[in-house]
Structure 1
Amino acid sequence: MTALSAEPEPTTPARRELPLSMVERMTLIMDAFGGRSTRLTLEDVARSTHLPRSTAHRILDQLVRLDWLDHTSFGYSLGRRALGLGGRNGSHGEIREAAAPLLHNLQIKTGMVVHLAVLDGSDVFYLDKVGGRFALSVPSRVGGRAPAHSTALGKAILAWLEPEQVEALVGRSISRLTSRTIGDIGTLHQELNRIRQRRGLAFERGECFPNIACVAAAIRGHEGPVASISLVGDARMPLEKVAPLVVDAARQASLAFFPDLDSPRRSRRARSAPDRTWSSESMNRFLTVGQDGDWL
C-alpha cells in the first residue's frame, strides 16, 4: 500500500504546461504579434500559442474590445494601445483599417515591403508594415519611429505643410543618419519643393538606412496630410516603375478615409490634391534620375 501511494502522477507535468491565468494567456497572444507579423488569423494565433481555438478566440475578442488589437477582414493586428498611441489620436486605427486592403494589394503586386506611417513630432511613427521576403532585412517595425526628414514617408507628409510648420517640427532635430541624409533645413526645403513639383511623390535612397530605398506618397484629407504610404526596396532598385502604384494607393486611401474628398465643398487645401492617377507618360516627364542615382 505504501509503495502504491508513493508513485508520482504522470499527468501532473502535462497540466502545468498550459498557462492557467488569464494574464499569462493574454501575454502569449500579444507576444505572437511581436516582430513576427503585423497581421494574424485566429488559426495563426492558436497554432503559435498552443491555446485551444475557442480560448484564443475569446481572448482575442476581449483584446479587440479593449483596443489592444484590431480586427479586419485580413485578420488581427496590433491595436491602438499596443502601438503606444494611447488616447493621442483615435483616428490612427481608422487610417490603418482604411489602408489595410490597399497595403495588401500593393505588396501582392510588387512583392516589396509596404509601410504606413503618420507624423508624430519630428518623427514618423509606423502604423503598419506588410512585407515579403525582403521584410526581415528592413529594420523598421510597427510602433517604431524614424526621423521624418530622413525617410520618404516623412518627406511626403512634410511637403504639404507650411514651411514654418516644417521648421518648428524638424528644424532643431535635423541631423544626419547616413552620409546621404539631408543635414540642414535649407536643403530640406529645396527637397520638399521638388516633391511638390512631382505632385507629392517622395524618394529616398540610403538616407535612413544604408542600402535601402523608398518611394512614398501622402494620404491627404480636407486639412492636409494625415499619413503616408511607401514601398521599400534595395537601394539599387529602379523605383520609378512602381511609383505610380504608390500614388494611386495613397489617393485611394484618401478617398476611403475621406469619402467626400472629391465633393465641390471640400476645403481649399484639399482641392490641390491630384484629381487622377498618374499615367506612364506623366511619370516619365516628372521622374528624372541623375547619373549617380541620387534623387536629391
Structure 2
Amino acid sequence: MTSTLRMNAESAVEEPVPPSMVERMTLILDLFEHPHTRRNLEEVTRRTRLPRSTAHRILDQLVRLRWLDHTTSGYRLGKRALGLGGREIGQNALRSAAAPVLHDLAIRTKLVVHLAVLSGTEVYYLDKVGGRSAVDVPSRVGGRAPAHCTALGKAMLAWLPPERIDTEYADAVRRTPRSIGDLGILHQELDRIRRRRGLAFERGECFAHVSCVGIALRGQEGPAAAISLVGDVHTPMERVAPLLMQAAHAVSNEFFAGPVLSRPDLSAPQQTWSSEAMTRFLTVGDGGDWL
C-alpha cells in the first residue's frame, strides 16, 4: 500500500523544466500551434513553467533572430519560422475554414467566389469556387494578379499604411483602360473602401469583361486575406454585397475564433436589403459612384 502511494505521488510530480537552451526555446516555440496564434509573456511563463525572466530573455532572442515577432497583441511566429512551411500551413488552415462558406456563397449567388492573400503587390489565389461559370473567369488557384486592379487586392490595400501604398504603387501599371494608374486616385479609392466598411468594387479593371466585389478578412495586425464575388461586367455586384459581408464574418469567426472585421454601427446584413438601404450604404461621395 505504501509503495503504491509513493508511486502515485511520484507520478503527480511535474516534469522538470528542461535545462538546455535549445530545449527551452523549443518549449516556447511549441506554444505557437498556428501562424495566427498569439501568446503574451504571462501565457508563455505559465504554460512552460519557465521563470518569468528566463522566458522573457528567450523571447527577446527569438524575436531578434526572427523566429518570432513581437506585436501589440503579443508574440507570433516570425518570418524565419514561417519560411519553414508555416505560411503554407496557415494558408491551408484558411482554405479549410473558408471552404464550406465559399461553396454556400457560390450556390446562393450563382457567381464565382475567390479566396486570396496579398503577396507583395499582387494577390495570390488560394481558392476558386463556381462550377461551370468558373471557366469564364480567367483566374486559377495558385495564380496571381496585380492587387490594385482587383477588388480582392483593393479590399486588402485599404487597411495598409498609406506609406506602404506610396512606396509600392508609385508606378502602378494599368492592366486595362479602366485600371487605376495614378497614386492619388488609388488613395481616393482606398478611402472610399474604408468608408464603405471595407467593400471594394471593380469593373473591368483586371479583365475587361469581369466585375467583382471583395472584402478583406482582417486580423489584429491587418488584412490576412480577402474573398470576392465575380460576375460578368454587367452584373450588379452591389446587390450581392450583403451576402459577401455575411460570408466574410463567418470565415473570420471560424479562422480567427472571434469577430475581427470592423463593424461600426452595422449588424450582420440580411440576405436582401431594400434599394434605399443599399443606396445609403454604398454612397460614399458626390454622386455615389463606387468605381
TM-score (norm 2): 0.64
Instruction: Give the whole-Å Cα distance in 1 for the aligned partners of 2:134 and 2:288.
Output: 23
* Aligned residue in 2 for 1:205: 203
Question: Which residue of structure 1 aligns with residue 165 of structure 2?
Answer: 166
Q: Which amino acid in structure 2 is aligned with residue 249 of structure 1?
A: A
Residue in structure 1 matched with residue 225 of structure 2 by the alignment = 227
C-alpha displacement at 1:183, in angstroms? 0.5
Task: Name the amino acid aligned to 1:146.
Answer: A
Conservation of the 8 A alpha-carbon contact between 1:205 and 1:294: no
**Which residue of structure 1 aligns with residue 280 of structure 2?**
285
Query: 2: CA distance between counterparts of 1:88 and 1:245?
Result: 31
Q: Could you say which residue in structure 1 is the equivalent of 2:253?
A: 255
Instruction: Name the residue aligned to 2:102.
Output: 103
Q: For this pair of structures, how many residues does the alignment match? A: 202
Q: How far is the alpha carbon of 1:164 from its aligned partner?
A: 1.1
> In structure 2, what residue type is equivalent to 1:276?
S
Pick from 172, 175, 179: which aligns with 2:173? 175
The 2-side partners of 1:233 and 1:293 are apart by 21
Cα distance in 2 between the residues matched to 1:186 and 1:159: 13
Counterpart-to-counterpart distance in 1, 2:97 and 2:147: 23
Q: Which residue of 2 aligns with 1:124?
A: 123
Query: What is the distance in 2 between the residues matched to 1:230 and 1:200?
Result: 12
Give the SS at the match of 1:199: coil
Deviating beyond 4 angstroms after TM superposition, the runs of 4 or more aligned structure 1 residues are none
Aligned counterparts of 2:139 and 2:263: Cα–Cα separation in 1: 29
RMSD of Structure 2 on Structure 1 (CA): 2.4
Report the alpha carbon displacement of residue 132 of structure 1 after superposing the two structures with TM.
2.6
Q: CA deviation at 1:284?
A: 2.8
What secondary structure, in the 3-state scheme, does the structure 1 residue paired with 2:85 have?
coil
What whole-Å deviation, never above 9, does each CA across 1:105-159 have from its counterpart, x for those lacking one? 0001011100000000000000000013321111100000000000000000011
C-alpha separation in 1, matches of 2:178 and 2:261: 34
Contact 1:113 1:135 in 2 (8 A): yes
Q: CA deviation at 1:240?
A: 1.4
Shift of 1:166: 2.0
Distance 1:144 1:86 in 2: 22
C-alpha contact 2:201 2:212 (8 A) present in aligned 1: yes
Partner of 1:154: 153
Unaligned runs of 5+ in 1: 1-84, 262-269
Correspondences of 1:1-296 after superposition (within 5 Å) = 87=85, 89=87, 90-172=89-171, 174-261=172-259, 270=260, 272-273=262-263, 276-278=267-269, 280-281=273-274, 282-288=277-283, 295-296=290-291
Report percent identity of matched pairs.
Answer: 59
Q: Distance in 2 between matches of 1:116 and 1:273?
A: 21
Gaps of 5+ in 2: 1-82
Amino acid at match of 2:124: F
In the aligned structure 1, how far is the partner of 2:202 from the partner of 2:235?
12
- Change over 3 Å in CA distance of 1:86–1:135 after alignment to 2: farther
Tell me the distance in 2 between the aligned counterparts of 1:238 and 1:229: 17
Instruction: Classify the secondary structure of the residue corresponding to 1:219.
Output: strand
Residue of structure 2 equivalent to 1:56? none
Which residue identity does 2:139 align to in structure 1?
Answer: S
Q: Cα–Cα, structure 1 residues 144 and 98, in superposed 2: closer, same or farther, change >3 Å?
A: same
Task: Pick which of 234-243 and 114-123 moved more.
Answer: 234-243
Structure 2 letter corresponding to 1:284: T
3-state SS of paired residue (1:213) = strand
- Mapped to 2, the partners of 1:203 and 1:159 lie a distance apart of 12
Structure 1 residues 120 and 294 mapped into 2: Cα distance closer, same or farther (>3 Å)? same
For residues 227 and 180 of structure 2, the distance between their equivalents in structure 1, rounded to whole angstroms, comes to 21
State the alpha-carbon separation in 2 of the partners of residues 243 and 86 from structure 1: 37
